[in-house]
Amino acid sequence: MVPGARGGVGAREERVTDDLVELLTVTQRRVAGGVAAALAEDGTTLDGYRLLRALAGGGRTMGQLVAVLHLPAPTCTRLVDAAVDQALAYRLPHAEDGRKVVVHLSDPGRSRLHRWEALVAAHEASLAAALGPDRVAALRQALTELAGPGD
């Protein structure tokens, strides 16, 4: 039986498919759900965490955030609005193009991000313990290749 699948007395075992798209989808949802639950206890969503991570390397325009987060523009705007409302991020006019704004991570946002990164790291550590370091390394490599060039 696969970890996370239900089975036992009185329960029918869930069939696990070998279809790659289905496996990736189910895995993504289970992993994201576990991480989201941990982050929710500290008052954020998985996308809120991802936004702060995207800002940690420096300011980004809204277009850059949409591209790196792979989210629709309205969703990204709502995330940024919420982060600004919580003083986790702030907006400044673009230095060369006054029509654009650049979103930056605030000091309180950086502190919150460190806390959230610890929660995510703990979740990843439990996954790594279940799979073992060699399988985690192989999985990370395969997923990196599937994801293609980074943003």
The CATH class for the domain spanning 45-135 reads: mainly alpha
Mean pLDDT of 10-31: 77
pLDDT (tens digit per residue) in 50-98:
999 999 999 999 999 999 999 999 999 999 999 999 999 999 999 898 8
C-alpha distances in Å from residue 97, one per residue of 19, 64, 92: 47, 14, 11
In the chain, what are the domain boundaries?
45-135
Residue appearing with tokens 């390394």: 137
Q: Assess whether pLDDT exceeds 80 at residue 100.
A: yes
Residue 86: DSSP 8-state: T
Which residues, 6+ apart, have CB-to-CB distance to 135 below 8 Å?
A: none
Distances (CA, A) of 49 to 2, 26, 60, 90: 29, 21, 15, 15
Query: Around 126, how many Cα atoms within 13 Å sit in the side-chain half-sphere?
Result: 10
